[in-house]
Amino acid sequence: MQRVLAVIGILIVTSGCGLASSESKTGRVAQGPPPSISQAPKLIVEQVVGGLEHGWDVGFLPDGKVLITERPGRLTLLDKSTPGAVATHVEANFSDVKARGEGGLMGMVVHPDFATSHRFTTCQTHWDDSGGDVRLVTWELSGDGHSARRVRDPLVGGLPVNPSGRHSGCRPTLAPDDSLLVGTGDTARANFAQDRTILGGKVLRIDLGTGGPAPGNPFERSSNTNERLVYTYGHRNVQGVAIQPGTGQAYSAEHGPDVDDEINRLRAGGNYGWDPSRGGTVGGYHEDVPMTDKKRFPDAIDAAWSSGDHTEAICAAVFLTGPDWANLAGVLAVTALKGSKLLLMTIGPDGNVTAVATPPELNDKFGRLRAARLGPDGALYVTTSNGDNDRLLRILPG
């Protein structure tokens, strides 16, 4: 069956109905793949800089400069955010960061008071003789931008890590109240996502200054210090967190196994239904369970969008906003690693995704796409994550 969907006034054509008639191997009724595109929004894509290695996140400084985290444990400073930018290595001690599998130097946020504090916070793996974790570390950039020193290590520690680096998360995003939302991975441990005393497989809500729970957290009265940080749970591997302009509603982008990548609308205290342990009844990490297990958890929150019987390995997410985006304002832009594309998702009045468009300018043209941040100039900035001569791209509507 064919139907025509609107992506904020832009027509796209689907080759199938919104819900598949058969169930996926996880036992849930799967949504069909993203619609094929007959007319997608025209975008202008420029290269700001090349020569990166797995650029993981992007932070914009008040003076127009740009910080980029690179997964092997490198921090790069650009002198501007437009093509022809000059990249400078920032000297910082990342000797404890081991880039294994999906782990390493990952997400980053620039503090709201950076103009006076020069502070930013990274999410990174940490290994020493006693073991390892994923942790948030707060840094201070020198006045000349040549170096950075740790000023709070850890801001938050004890996020679980897998020695292989599998399912490390880890994307921090500032909420409108300046609390820090952090998406984490379950580190491929079957029981972690449902255990609220373990910080893997969660979205955390943290006070950026203290590292403690942000006021109003759903489990703030818990006797367990980890549980006080938890905002939502039951996630597999959260790779992106985005805040919807105007509403302040948070959404997460999450990796499924070989099916069912998800966009989730976050609700304080919500369970999103991932449980490879099957209530602790099985060992190992068997992934033939639903991403959202409604049978085991009737109150589990349904995904706002699922990729269905395939995966794109969706990653970062950000809402497009500002006058430059015109008819695309309010669309959720989501990068894809495996899919090597950008997905533009329309959010309906009920908070669910009603349509998806794939701009041809980014469809398998630059390889794996990871970071997605909106710059102060209104442009969308995306990094590639291929491991060789990775790039920072600047994107605007054509």
Task: For 296-309, write each residue's pLDDT tens digit.
Answer: 999 999 999 999 99
pLDDT more than 90, % of the chain: 89
**Residue 191 phi, psi dihedral angles, 5° rounding:** -100, -5
Tokens of 23: 């169930």
Q: Tell me how many degrees the CA angle 319-398-80 measures, rounded to the nearest 5.
A: 70
Q: Label residue 21 by pLDDT band (50, 70, 90).
A: very low
Q: Tell me how many degrees the CA angle 172-176-180 measures, rounded to the nearest 5.
A: 25
Domain count, the chain: 1
Partners of 52 in the β-ladder: 390
Q: Tell me how many degrees the CA angle 285-288-289 measures, rounded to the nearest 5.
A: 90
Determine the pLDDT at residue 351.
Answer: 96
- Expressed as residue numbers, the domain containing 369 is 4-397
Q: Please give the Cα distance from 261 to 264 (Å, whole number).
A: 10
Residue range 340-364: mean pLDDT, rounded: 95
**Residue 212 phi, psi dihedral angles, 5° rounding:** -85, 180
Q: Please give the Cα distance from 257 to 268 (Å, whole number).
A: 25
CATH number at 151 reads 2.120.10.30
Determine the pLDDT at residue 19.
Answer: 23
User: What mean pLDDT value characterizes the chain?
Assistant: 91
DSSP reduced 3-state for 154? strand
Tokens of 354: 């009603």
